[in-house]
Amino acid sequence: MEYNIGVIRGDGIGPEIVKEALKVLDGVCGRYGFSLNKTEIDMGGCSIDKYGIPLTEEAIRTAKAQDAILMGSIGGDAKTSPWYKLEPSKRPEAGLLSIRKELNLFANLRPSVLFDELKSACPLSKETADKGFDFVIMRELTGGLYFGERYTREIDGVETAVDTLSYNENEIRRAAIKAFDIAAKRGKKVTLVDKANVLDSSRLWRKVTGAVAAEHPDITFETMLVDNCAMQIVKEPSQFDVILTENMFGDILSDEAAMITGSIGMLSSASLNDTKFGLYEPSGGSAPDIAGLNVANPIATILSAAMMLRYSLDQDRAACAVEDAVKQVLKDGIRTGDIMSEGCRKVSTDEMGDAILDRIQGP
């Protein structure tokens, strides 16, 4: 079996962390009997330097021809980088917005996992941290309040601002189907988070998602109001498997869920469309402050690659092998600087990649 993957190394620490993820992917695919045909794609600051724009038509065409894309991170230091003297539509981040649109990536997946060995960094109570948690937030990415009609004007002599929160049943259904697909590969539970006691749009989410749930009797389905969910994430995060929610609620809850893990260098993410295709990247940025120093933590990118194996390539066993190797490295006390603690061995970016590769178990 051969898959085509696009590789966006990006800017800052991007090339360093992507190199380690590719090293691990090459190791795991050899052992699990498949191969990866990799194509480099320029995006962000490095594309500006070469072509004057953050994403070319050629890059978009190449991206569309892949089974999945693995990405580092893009962007630079906004105060010192010449990229930020350009108008906003020509800056590195515009490339990311444009690729998401071109590839129709409507679902964003952000896992929130507490690794046993990193429990001391978790800001929750010891009792809650001891129970651990492993859930994902699936946020609708292209609709809702951020994309609805908006204006500020004087109405009856009073300055008034209006933002519109709109969803149609098709947008909701494709997100719900995706969430149930994800849950089928995980803990088989979907929690729809909304504000159905107030909002019409939330009531439509409940109706449409409820109908999708009826087609998946093997998956537990529940609903929760967003204010309660914000509390439950800090009180009892172990109850969640897949949280499905609309754009703005997901924006806020996914940052809350990231904080409780206590370590940005460990957080993976994916943006998906209604095929198997996905764009996989670490949640953090390009960390210009540590770029080129070989100290960045590559684990978030390596875990993003594991998600790519599971959700885009259906190589679930290989994905588990990568995740188990990461857990083993942490158990063995190997740490990059950002997650260093007493009694552990501090390693560089490439040593961390090597250590994970060494611990990949065969089938």
* Interaction site with ligand NAD (CB under 6 A): 13, 17, 73-76, 78, 93, 96, 264-265, 281, 284-290, 296-297, 300, 338
Among residues 163, 181, 251, 316, the one annotated as catalytic is 251
Q: How far is CA 238 from CA 111, 133, 336, in A?
A: 13, 4, 27
- Least distance in angstroms from the C-beta of 319 to ligand NAD: 20
Among residues 146, 163, 181, 327, the one annotated as catalytic is 146
Using the minimum distance from each CB to ligand NAD, give the nearer residue, 34 or 84.
84
Active site residue 251: yes
3-state SS assignment for residue 324: helix
Residue in 292, 226, 276 with CA at minimum distance from that of residue 69: 276
Cβ neighbours of 274 (radius 10 Å): 14
Q: Where are the alpha helices (DSSP H) in 185-246?
A: 200-214, 226-235
Among residues 49, 116, 130, 227, the one annotated as catalytic is 227
Using the minimum distance from each CB to ligand NAD, give the nearer residue, 196 or 329.
329
Strands (E), 242-293: 242-245, 268-272, 278-282
- Least distance in angstroms from the C-beta of 356 to ligand NAD: 14
Cβ neighbours of 149 (radius 10 Å): 8
- Rounded to whole angstroms, the Cα distance separating 268 from 234 reads 20
Using the minimum distance from each CB to ligand NAD, give the nearer residue, 96 or 305.
96
- Least distance in angstroms from the C-beta of 217 to ligand NAD: 37
Listed in sequence order, the residues at least 6 apart from 256 whose beta carbon sits closer than 8 Å to its beta carbon are 230, 233, 234
- Least distance in angstroms from the C-beta of 176 to ligand NAD: 25
Question: Which single residue is written with the structure tokens 């051969």?
Answer: 2
Cβ-contact 54, 47 below 8 angstroms: yes
Using the minimum distance from each CB to ligand NAD, give the nearer residue, 29 or 253.
253
Longest dimension (CA), the chain: 71
Using the minimum distance from each CB to ligand NAD, give the nearer residue, 54 or 144.
54
Using the minimum distance from each CB to ligand NAD, give the nearer residue, 10 or 205.
10
Cβ neighbours of 244 (radius 10 Å): 29
* Bridge partners (DSSP) listed for residue 71: 8
Residue in 330, 326, 340 with CA at minimum distance from that of residue 21: 326
Cβ-contact 183, 219 below 8 angstroms: yes
Active site residue 227: yes
Among residues 119, 189, 195, 327, the one annotated as catalytic is 195
Using the minimum distance from each CB to ligand NAD, give the nearer residue, 196 or 356.
356
- Least distance in angstroms from the C-beta of 77 to ligand NAD: 7
Tokens of 227: 């204010």
Cβ-contact 140, 175 below 8 angstroms: yes
- Least distance in angstroms from the C-beta of 280 to ligand NAD: 11
- Least distance in angstroms from the C-beta of 131 to ligand NAD: 27
The DSSP code sequence of 35-83 is: EEEEEE---THHHHHHHSSSS-HHHHHHHHTSSEEEEEE----TTT-GG
Active site residue 195: yes
Active site residues: 146, 195, 227, 251, 255
